[in-house]
């Protein structure tokens, strides 16, 4: 399918081919689904929200509920305020959420709808809430939209007068429900009282019960979001998705924040576990020490298969930074590292990681696309692709093993239930990488070299 991708790389400034990101509202919608009894609302045309819902449903294999202002020509010319007013009334009347989280789209941003003014004008039923965020898709990516929606919740709901409490707010970053479960398990082992915000576990991996529920058990309760204002501290896991919402909370409610890397791999998980244990005023529990030891054991056992293998890593910036840190720990060699999310902070972060190791030449690029990554690979192939499903065509065209991690993974099942964060996530990730490399070796070796015992 991509066999005809040309080898010659030419400079492109106004065109992305096979972009390594999607649009802001997808992230805003996912953030809103992590709030209990929340209805995400897309202020734009029905086509936009169909795309956003479909995208999330394909990754999580779960229905992603959301509503739309259903712009037609009239709203596009005269403004979408009346549509939003009608939508809010209908949503509360028909679907009865506790809160509606409105995000904008390209269209409503381009015509200049003032969402804040529109919402001020709307009569919201007693006890119900409408929050909003601006998420123009021609800026940033779905990660930016996720961060903007979190900031929108905090601006509207976090209460600076909330009673001071000893809880730690944990912003998990743009991760799967399986990752959030793992983070909560680690926090519970360390004994740190916490508020996970947002929390898509129990929503985007709700169990099959034979009964459809529009608002499953999971999601951060509204009272917990209000109580963020009284938390002792924030642990923001991933600077690209969480630093800005943490900053908004700090400015509004004076809650100090520590921005940590997404806890993928040994070092980053150590940082998270240590911060959690210190926050709880306890030693790191033995169970976590043991898990760490098992991860190190696996890394050592399979080292001959990892060592010096070249890897192309691509996806969301926090996830990619975590994956790069981990493959460096495994003794692998990142050769190409790209994200679709713009921002020089990404190149600085990856360059800083690479400087800790001496792994040779590595091309790092933000606001990149997979077409260019493919061209680089055509010029100098790698041993492994590590990233989203969108690398599948490159993997097929170049006959390179692909390990799926990050968002989105559209062509496999079960991945969103299982973590890549924490020591357990590291074990899973290391196993997936070793399996892919060893399967390739088995496929390519001569019959007499096909070993059963490794
Ligand atoms: S028009 Fe904009 S908001 Fe709508 S789906 Fe396309 S990129 Fe996303």
Other C-beta atoms lying within 10 Å of the C-beta of residue 341? 24
**Could you tell me the strand order of the sheet in which 194-196 lies?**
194-196, 168-171, 233-237, 257-260
For 296, the enclosing helix (H) or strand (E) is helix 286-301
For 395, the enclosing helix (H) or strand (E) is helix 392-398
Closest among 279, 257, 271 to 321, alpha carbons compared: 271
Closest among 235, 273, 266, 214 to 63, alpha carbons compared: 214
Predicted confidence at residue 3, as pLDDT, reads 81
Predicted confidence at residue 4, as pLDDT, reads 86
Predicted confidence at residue 30, as pLDDT, reads 98
Indicate whether residue 51 lines ligand 1 (CB < 6 A).
yes
- Domains parsed from the chain with CATH numbers: 24-157 (3.40.50.1980), 168-288 (3.40.50.1980), 302-449 (3.40.50.1980)
Residue with CA nearest ligand 1 atom 8: 23
Closest among 202, 251, 253, 238 to 33, alpha carbons compared: 202
Predicted confidence at residue 14, as pLDDT, reads 87
- Three-state DSSP state, 164: coil
Predicted confidence at residue 102, as pLDDT, reads 98
Question: 48 CA distance to ligand 1 centroid (A)?
Answer: 5
For 132, the enclosing helix (H) or strand (E) is strand 129-133
Indicate whether residue 25 lines ligand 1 (CB < 6 A).
yes
Please tell me the distance from the alpha carbon of residue 266 to that of residue 325, in angstroms, as a whole number. 9
**Which residues of the chain are under the pLDDT cut of 50?**
none
Indicate whether residue 137 lines ligand 1 (CB < 6 A).
yes
Question: 367 CA distance to ligand 1 centroid (A)?
Answer: 17
Question: 399 CA distance to ligand 1 centroid (A)?
Answer: 33
Calculate the alpha carbon distances from 291 to 39, 269, 273, 283, 288 in Å: 38, 11, 12, 15, 5
Please tell me the distance from the alpha carbon of residue 191 to that of residue 178, in angstroms, as a whole number. 20
Please tell me the distance from the alpha carbon of residue 132 to that of residue 100, in angstroms, as a whole number. 8
Residue with CA nearest ligand 1 atom 4: 48
Indicate whether residue 105 lines ligand 1 (CB < 6 A).
yes
Predicted confidence at residue 61, as pLDDT, reads 96
Other C-beta atoms lying within 10 Å of the C-beta of residue 79? 17
- Specify the ligand 1 atom closest to the Cα of 106: 2
Please tell me the distance from the alpha carbon of residue 215 to that of residue 120, in angstroms, as a whole number. 26
Predicted confidence at residue 359, as pLDDT, reads 85
9-49 residue pLDDT tens = 988 888 999 999 999 999 999 999 999 999 999 999 999 99
Please tell me the distance from the alpha carbon of residue 150 to that of residue 195, in angstroms, as a whole number. 14
Ligand 1 binding pocket mutation candidate from 41, 43, 47, 51 (most atoms within 8 A of CB): 51
70-127 residue pLDDT tens = 999 999 889 899 999 999 999 999 999 999 999 999 999 999 999 999 999 999 999 9
- Specify the ligand 1 atom closest to the Cα of 105: 3
Indicate whether residue 194 lines ligand 1 (CB < 6 A).
no
Please tell me the distance from the alpha carbon of residue 153 to that of residue 98, in angstroms, as a whole number. 13
Question: 356 CA distance to ligand 1 centroid (A)?
Answer: 39
HSE value, Cβ hemisphere, 13 Å, CA-based, for 415: 21
Other C-beta atoms lying within 10 Å of the C-beta of residue 18? 17
Indicate whether residue 136 lines ligand 1 (CB < 6 A).
no
- pTM greater than 0.85 (yes/no): yes
Closest among 125, 97, 103 to 216, alpha carbons compared: 97
Predicted confidence at residue 58, as pLDDT, reads 97
Question: 106 CA distance to ligand 1 centroid (A)?
Answer: 6
């Amino acid at each position: 399918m991509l066999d005809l991708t040309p080898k010659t790389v030419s400079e492109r400034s106004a065109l992305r081919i096979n972009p390594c990101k999607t649009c802001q509202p997808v992230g805003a919608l996912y953030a809103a689904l992590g709030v209990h009894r929340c209805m995400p609302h897309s202020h734009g045309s029905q086509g936009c929200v169909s795309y956003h819902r479909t995208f999330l449903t394909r990754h999580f294999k779960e229905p992603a509920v959301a509503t739309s202002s259903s712009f037609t020509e009239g709203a596009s010319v005269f403004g979408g305020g009346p549509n939003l007013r009608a939508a809010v009334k209908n949503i509360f009347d028909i679907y009865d959420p506790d809160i509606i989280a409105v995000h904008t789209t390209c269209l409503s941003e381009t015509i200049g709808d003032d969402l804040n003014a529109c919402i001020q004008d709307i009569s919201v039923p007693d006890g119900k809430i409408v929050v909003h965020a601006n998420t123009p898709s021609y800026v940033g990516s779905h990660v930016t939209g996720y961060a903007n929606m979190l900031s929108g919740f905090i601006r509207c709901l976090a209460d600076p007068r909330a009673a001071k409490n000893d809880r730690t707010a944990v912003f998990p970053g743009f991760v799967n429900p399986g990752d959030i479960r793992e983070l909560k398990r680690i926090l519970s082992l360390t004994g740190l009282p916490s508020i996970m915000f947002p929390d898509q576990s129990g929503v985007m991996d709700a169990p099959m019960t034979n009964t459809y529920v529009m608002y499953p058990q999971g999601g951060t309760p509204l009272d917990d979001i209000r109580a963020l204002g009284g938390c002792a501290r924030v642990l923001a896991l991933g600077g690209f998705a969480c630093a800005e919402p943490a900053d908004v909370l700090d400015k509004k409610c004076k809650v100090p924040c520590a921005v940590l890397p997404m806890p993928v791999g040994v070092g980053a998980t150590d940082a998270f576990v240590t911060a959690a244990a210190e926050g709880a005023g306890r030693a790191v529990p033995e169970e976590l020490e043991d898990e760490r030891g098992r991860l190190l054991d696996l890394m050592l056992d399979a080292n001959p298969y990892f060592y010096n293998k070249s890897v192309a890593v691509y996806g969301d910036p926090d996830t990619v930074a975590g994956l790069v840190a981990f493959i460096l720990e495994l003794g692998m060699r990142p050769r190409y590292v790209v994200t679709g999310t713009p921002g020089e902070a990404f190149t600085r972060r990856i360059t800083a990681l690479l400087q800790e190791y001496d792994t040779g030449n590595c091309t790092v690029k933000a606001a990149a696309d997979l077409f260019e990554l493919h061209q680089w690979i055509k010029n100098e192939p790698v041993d492994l692709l590590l990233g989203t499903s969108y690398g599948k065509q490159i993997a097929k065209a170049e006959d390179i093993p692909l390990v799926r991690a990050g968002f989105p993974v559209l062509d496999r099942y079960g991945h969103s239930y299982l973590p890549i964060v924490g020591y357990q996530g590291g074990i899973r990730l290391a196993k997936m990488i070793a399996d892919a490399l060893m399967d390739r070796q088995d496929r390519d070796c001569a019959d007499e070299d096909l070993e059963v015992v490794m």
